[in-house]
Each structure stands twice: as structure tokens, then as C-alpha cells.
Amino acid sequence: MQCEICGADIWGKPVKIRVEGSELEVCGACAKYGRPEDTWQPVGRKMAPRERTVLTRRHKKNIFDTITDEIISDYGKTIREARGAMGLTVEDLGRKIMEKAALLRKIERGELVPEDSVRKKLEAALNIKLTERVKVDEQRSGGFIKGTTLGDVAIIKRKRFL
């Protein structure tokens, strides 16, 4: 029989060892590279009993029920005019409210709706109001005004037949 590590012939009884999870039969000289198989035992895991926790589900509040203000439609124009009236550049306004000038440019162009934190900073710095109070019956549900149908929103392309 040959040693599975060095390949030398084994005289007598081979030694069984475990090397990185593999069981090998080796000579006495190579036995130092692993653990003897007879002393290796898997470590048992002690599992503590877990207490069951009872979760009570709270009724989730609809955040849209609490919203009474909505951002005005021409917020970009309002911000640009107020900034111009104060004689500030976009960079100056950005430094004043601790926001990037690129973000403010996108907001002024109408490409980006300002988050509440940025909106509040802009209102305070420029002394303007960017929100308006909306009546409950005028509030939007799901992004569209109530009563809007798919036909009002979709662009229908018709195939032309010759």
C-alpha cells in the first residue's frame, strides 16, 4: 500500500488521518499533516429553545391620507425667478442651502421634483412657497386624478392597412 500524501510504500498498518475534511491513509511520517481519525469528532451544536413571539399587526396608516399639500406645477420657474430676484447664481444658492448646483439646475429645469428636505431649504432661503393646499376631492390617487381612464392617458397607435 502507498501513502496518499508522499507516495512511499507503507510497511505495517497505515495511519488514518483527516486533512481538511478528507480521510486519508498515510505513512507514519506524513501523519503529522492531519488529525488522527480516531480523535476527530464533529462538534455538536447546542440549540437553545426559542420563545415564540406573537406579533400583532397594526393597521398601517395610509400616508396619502395625511398629505394635504402638493408641490406647485411651475416650481422650477418660481425657484428661478426668486433666485434671480435675489441676485444669486445657482452655485451661490447651492452653497447657501448646502446642496449641489447640478441638483438645483435639474430642479429649475423641471427634470427633478425636489424632495421635502430640499424643498424646505429652498423655501427658507428664497422666501417662497412651493406647495399649495389641495382639497380632499382634488387629491390624486395612484398618480392620476380620480375619474381618469386608460384612454385619457394611453397613446394608441393604429396599424395602417393598404
The reply to whether 151 falls in a domain is no
Which CATH number goes with the domain that contains 88? 1.10.260.40
pLDDT of amino acid 161: 65
Are 69 and 130 in a shared domain?
yes
Are 129 and 80 in a shared domain?
yes
Cell of 54: 406573537
Per-residue pLDDT, averaged over 47-62, amounts to 70
**Of residues 159 and 114, more confidently modeled:** 114
Are 16 and 77 in a shared domain?
no
- Backbone torsion region of residue 98, taken as left when φ is above 0, otherwise alpha when ψ lies between -120 and 50, otherwise beta: left
Are 118 and 76 in a shared domain?
yes
> Does the predicted model carry a pTM greater than 0.75?
no
Per-residue pLDDT, averaged over 9-23, amounts to 85
pLDDT of amino acid 143: 53
Structural domain for 16, as ranges: 1-38
Q: What is the pLDDT of residues 101-147, one digit of tens each?
A: 999 999 999 898 999 899 999 999 999 998 888 765 555 555 555 56
Per-residue pLDDT, averaged over 80-86, amounts to 93
Strands (E), 6-116: 15-19, 22-26, 35-36, 69-71
Backbone angles phi, psi at 134, to 5 degrees: -115, 135
Per-residue pLDDT, averaged over 42-64, amounts to 69
- In contact, 143 and 149? CB cutoff 8 Å: no
In this predicted structure, the answer to whether residue 40 has a pLDDT above a threshold of 70 is no
Backbone angles phi, psi at 152, to 5 degrees: -75, -25
Strand 69-71, strand 35-36: pairing: unpaired
pLDDT of amino acid 37: 72
Contacts of 144 (CB under 8 A, 6+ apart): 153
Q: How far apart are the first and last CA of the chain?
A: 87
